[in-house]
Amino acid sequence: MSILITGGAGYIGSHTSVELLNAGYDIVIVDNFSNSKPEVLNRIKELTGKGFKFYEVDVLDKDALSQVFSENHIEAVIHFAGLKSVGESVAMPINYYYNNITGNLILAEVMAKHNVKKIVFSSSATVYGMNNISPLTEDLPLSTTNPYGSTKLMGEQIFQDIYVSDNEWSIALLRYFNPIGAHESGRIGEDPKGIPNNIMPYITQVAVGKREKLNVFGDDYDTHDGTGVRDYIHVVDLAKGHLKAVEKIMGTKGVKIYNLGTGIGYSVLDLVKNFEEATGVKVPYVITKRRPGDIAACFSDPTKALKELNWKTEKTLKDMCKDSWKWQSNNPKGY
């Protein structure tokens, strides 16, 4: 019995693969390397001392995906494969809807055909939109402000509707807050192509000298220092949340929705300060104007995940900074 991990060569998928292998699961990874590199697979093997099957398959390729299910005894799927940049999604909505939405549909169709009805889906805190006040609980009204967010909201809806049509499904929708950090070994981490969209790779690239300075988008928000507040979560804590979610869907049916966050909001300047303290490296920054679509504060209420999954984060903001830096400084050019 194996867990199929779509997008397992990516940032969160690779860390989750390591945790699953270390916990004794057999895994099969599918990835098309649209946003990752094959070297990550060697690193996963190196870190765990375990082998696994890998298929260079696009989730949109129904026949190839179906072949993966025919060749393996898949018990459940963790579905990370998707495009994830908000800005890019505004510029290329067709690509985003096509890849993320069609990917969900094809995967669900192939799963149903092979009678595999357990799935963990990567959703995002972006589904809480602009109008809710943090801390955010799972039952709040949802909305989105960009095509990427819409693909996540629609993805949640698709899986909920699938359950309504067939109560044999067991589905976990995980709303991630802001994953940063890397495996403490420094062997795997986030390896963005081109200019990073997320703040931590940007900070580490400034720190390593690859970029001149960090742009801080706005210092006039209603927060303790005026800069935006987010719920940063260590990627290894996040990966461990997937283990708990897999255990949950193995034993129950229905749709479960969980926030995966720390419950603590830190500002951009808190992050810079913690990074400098944790690493001893200065991060020059400049305050620029607000970025359209950004909100002042977004952080989770993670109580439900604690109660129902017995999961909570363990790592501190300093751990996140230290591990991100170890990854970046040991791998200045990524994989």
Ligand X SMILES: NC(=O)c1ccc[n+]([C@@H]2O[C@H](COP(=O)([O-])OP(=O)(O)OC[C@H]3O[C@@H](n4cnc5c(N)ncnc54)[C@H](O)[C@@H]3O)[C@@H](O)[C@H]2O)c1
Regarding 56 and contact with ligand X (CB under 6 A), the answer is no
List, as own/partner pairs, every contact residues 57-65 make where C-beta atoms lie below 8 angstroms and the sequence separation is at least 24, other chains included.
57/30, 57/31, 57/32, 58/32, 59/6, 59/30, 59/32, 59/103, 59/106, 59/107, 60/98, 60/99, 60/102, 60/103, 60/106, 62/106, 62/109, 62/110, 65/30, 65/106, 65/107, 65/110
Q: How many residues bind ligand X (CB under 6 A)?
A: 29
Regarding 36 and contact with ligand X (CB under 6 A), the answer is yes
Using the rule CB under 6 A, give the single segment among 9-17, 279-287, 298-306, 309-317 that binds ligand X. 9-17
Residue 165 neighbours by CB distance under 10 Å? 8
Spatial separation of the C-alpha atoms in residues 274 and 301, rounded to whole Å: 23
Regarding 229 and contact with ligand X (CB under 6 A), the answer is no
Which one-letter DSSP state was computed for residue 49? Answer: T
Q: Which is nearer to ligand X, 92 or 287 (CB)?
A: 92
Instruction: Give Dmax over CA atoms of the chain in angstroms.
Output: 56
Spatial separation of the C-alpha atoms in residues 8 and 5, rounded to whole Å: 5
Q: Which is nearer to ligand X, 93 or 226 (CB)?
A: 93
Q: Which of residues 156-215 bind ligand X (CB under 6 A)?
A: 176, 179, 198
Regarding 9 and contact with ligand X (CB under 6 A), the answer is yes
246 and 288 Cβ atoms separated by less than 8 Å: no
Task: Map residue 50 onto helix, strand or coil.
Answer: coil
Among 12, 29, 78, 260, binds ligand X (CB under 6 A): 12
Nearest distance, CB of residue 175 and ligand X, angstroms: 8
Q: Which is nearer to ligand X, 98 or 253 (CB)?
A: 98
307 and 12 Cβ atoms separated by less than 8 Å: no
Spatial separation of the C-alpha atoms in residues 116 and 74, rounded to whole Å: 7
Nearest distance, CB of residue 81 and ligand X, angstroms: 4
Nearest distance, CB of residue 232 and ligand X, angstroms: 10
Q: Which is nearer to ligand X, 253 or 304 (CB)?
A: 304
Among 2, 35, 134, 324, binds ligand X (CB under 6 A): 35
Regarding 32 and contact with ligand X (CB under 6 A), the answer is yes
Q: Which is nearer to ligand X, 9 or 305 (CB)?
A: 9
CA distances, 207 to each of 92, 186, 270, 285, 315 (Å)? 30, 16, 16, 11, 22
Q: Which is nearer to ligand X, 207 or 239 (CB)?
A: 239
Q: Which is nearer to ligand X, 182 or 287 (CB)?
A: 182
Among 2, 4, 5, 13, binds ligand X (CB under 6 A): 13
Sign of the Cα pseudo-torsion (111, 159, 236, 96, in order): positive
Q: Which of residues 82-141 bind ligand X (CB under 6 A)?
A: 82-84, 99, 103, 122, 124
Tell me the one-letter amino acid at 9: A
Among 2, 4, 7, 144, binds ligand X (CB under 6 A): 7
Using the rule CB under 6 A, give the single segment among 76-84, 163-171, 201-209, 221-229 that binds ligand X. 76-84
Q: Catalytic site residue 148?
A: yes
225 φ, ψ to 5°?
-125, 10
Task: Map residue 73 onto helix, strand or coil.
Answer: coil
Task: Map residue 29 onto helix, strand or coil.
Answer: strand
Catalytic residue among 11, 55, 148, 266: 148
Among 60, 90, 105, 281, binds ligand X (CB under 6 A): 60
Binding footprint of ligand X on the chain (CB under 6 A): 6-7, 9-13, 30-36, 58-60, 80-84, 99, 103, 122, 124, 176, 179, 198
| Residues recognised as catalytic | 148
